[in-house]
Amino acid sequence: MQQSVTVGKEADARQIAVISREGKGPPVVWLGGFKSDMRATKAGAIDSWAEKNGRAFLRFDYSGHGESGGDFEQGTISRWLEEALAVMETHLTERPILVGSSMGGWISLLAARELMARRPALAPIGIVLIAPATDMTERLMWDRFPEGLRQGLEETGVYYRPSAYSEDSYPITKKLIEDGRRHLLLGRPIQTGCPVHILQGMEDPDVPWSHALQLVERLPGDSVSLTLIKDGDHRLSRDEDLERLIGAIEAIA
């Protein structure tokens, strides 16, 4: 069932497109990546699995993505996290399994922390992360930018970054970089309150597998699994990758 959730007030209000599938068991929640959408391959594979197995599945598009309203260039981690939490708090009645891809992995970890603090009845029972781009605005963008590009971004407020996944360039805004610094996780232990399974391709040019190792080091406890896929890329959307993804979800509940 497709619906929408209004997030924000007055001039800041945006309509967030949501697709929910009713079913049994802990609901699975999809959190997509930067410039991706809820109808992408991995989300579609989870939906097919959910339909076949009678499982509840919830997916949505951040503002400026897919079928949601809003301007992509106004997007920040704070804004997209607010939307993720609003969708979950509106649609969930029990603890979910969060599945986060790339930037959605970072937002999943932030959402888990927020839910544990303010809505423990909705805190996740498990998290599956695909090539998690934790702290991406700092570690995978700003730290990698040459000095000239940094200066240009400071002066103009936006850098149009070529993409390997689209003909259009991605706008990286100064606002996105600065806001991301409010949400950095890798400098301290990361509390999730649940098991975490990470799937990471070793041929990923966007999120190096060493980045996944840094995340594992910050996740306390013994309930952390890392699956390194030697020939895997960033998308991890091949049939064998999708089987690993479904298997990781099923292993939680």
Provide the phi-psi class of 6: left if phi over 0, else alpha when psi is between -120 and 50, else beta.
Answer: beta
CB-based contact 130:199 (threshold 8 Å) = yes
From 101, 102, 135, 206, the catalytic residue: 102
Q: Please confirm, yes or no, whether 204 is among the known catalytic residues.
A: yes
d(CA 242, CA 140): 25
CB-based contact 98:31 (threshold 8 Å) = yes
d(CA 243, CA 233): 15
d(CA 44, CA 29): 12
Q: Please confirm, yes or no, whether 91 is among the known catalytic residues.
A: no
From 65, 183, 197, 234, the catalytic residue: 234
Q: What is the largest CA-CA distance in the chain?
A: 53
The two tokens of residue 134 are 């934790």
From 135, 179, 204, 241, the catalytic residue: 204
Closest CA to 36 of 82, 117, 102: 102
Residue 118's contacts (CB-CB under 8 Å, 6 or more residues apart) are none
Residue 155's contacts (CB-CB under 8 Å, 6 or more residues apart) are none
User: Which of the residues are catalytic?
Assistant: 102, 204, 234
